[in-house]
Amino acid sequence: MPTRIDDAPEGRDTPMAIAGQHAVNGQPMTPPWPEGMEEIVLGLGCFWGAERLFWQLPGVHVTAVGYAGGVTPNPTYRETCTGRTGHAEVVRVVFDPRRLDLTTLLRHFWEAHDPTQGHRQGNDIGPQYRSIILTTSEPQREAAERSRAAYAEALRRAGRGEVTTEIAPLEAFYYAEDYHQQYLDKNPGGYCGLKGTGVSCPIA
């Protein structure tokens, strides 16, 4: 069932305190971004492995994990895990489109998870693990929708289910607690739930 505002935790006015510097590449994790950078927010299950996927891509300026797509302001991890905030676990990806085009970034997104599972990714169950793309411009939205249609067709041909990925404009991104930021760099043996379908995404 969709989250109702009166069911959601109240949240807070104060943003989560984070170190502010990316543990892997040393870049600031808070804006302003350097001129020419683009930002997109992606949810594909547990954000630990998802963030590592994106920070490793050439052309990504910086990443941060957080919560978005719901109603509770500045939620905690514990609140988000109740499923009542409406938020998904997401990765803010700031990238240089001169070095990494959006189509390539979206192809990595689609192929790294199973976008047909609704409110889950594998054994991770709940709306916080849903597949979601939150865009910051109209061209991004159009590209995301084209890529969703192309991958949905590829999955149908492979006998997989219907794509459940949401695409919407980004309204707010709330940073997760500092210990979640670059978690798999700080904890190399930590849990990574990423598992694709094995179906290639047919976008150039």
Q: Confidence class of residue 204 from pLDDT cuts 50, 70 and 90?
A: confident
Annotation marks residue 81 as catalytic: no
Using CA atoms, how far apart are residues 62 and 56, in angstroms rounded to an integer?
10
pTM of the model: 0.96
By DSSP bridging, strand 60-68 and strand 120-121 are unpaired
* Structure confidence at residue 117 (pLDDT): 97
Using CA atoms, how far apart are residues 26 and 17, in angstroms rounded to an integer?
17
> For 150-157, which contacts have Cβ atoms below 8 Å and span 24 or more sequence positions?
150/201, 150/202, 150/203, 151/110, 151/115, 151/199, 151/201, 151/202, 151/203, 153/202, 154/199, 154/200, 154/201, 154/202, 155/115, 155/116, 155/197, 155/199
* Structure confidence at residue 2 (pLDDT): 44
Q: Identify the active-site residue in 46, 81, 192, 201.
A: 46
Using CA atoms, how far apart are residues 128 and 78, in angstroms rounded to an integer?
11
| Average model confidence (pLDDT) across the chain | 96
For range 13-27, the mean pLDDT:
95
- pLDDT of residue 63 exceeding 60, the answer is yes
Among candidate residues 202, 1, 199, the one with its CA nearest the CA of residue 115: 199
- pLDDT of residue 7 exceeding 90, the answer is no
First to last CA, the chain: 36
User: pLDDT for 97-137, tens place per residue?
Assistant: 999 999 999 999 999 999 999 999 999 999 999 999 999 99
- pLDDT of residue 5 exceeding 70, the answer is no
User: pLDDT for 138-188, tens place per residue?
Assistant: 999 999 999 999 999 999 999 999 999 999 999 999 999 999 999 999 999
What's at 96, amino acid-wise?
Answer: D
For range 42-63, the mean pLDDT:
98
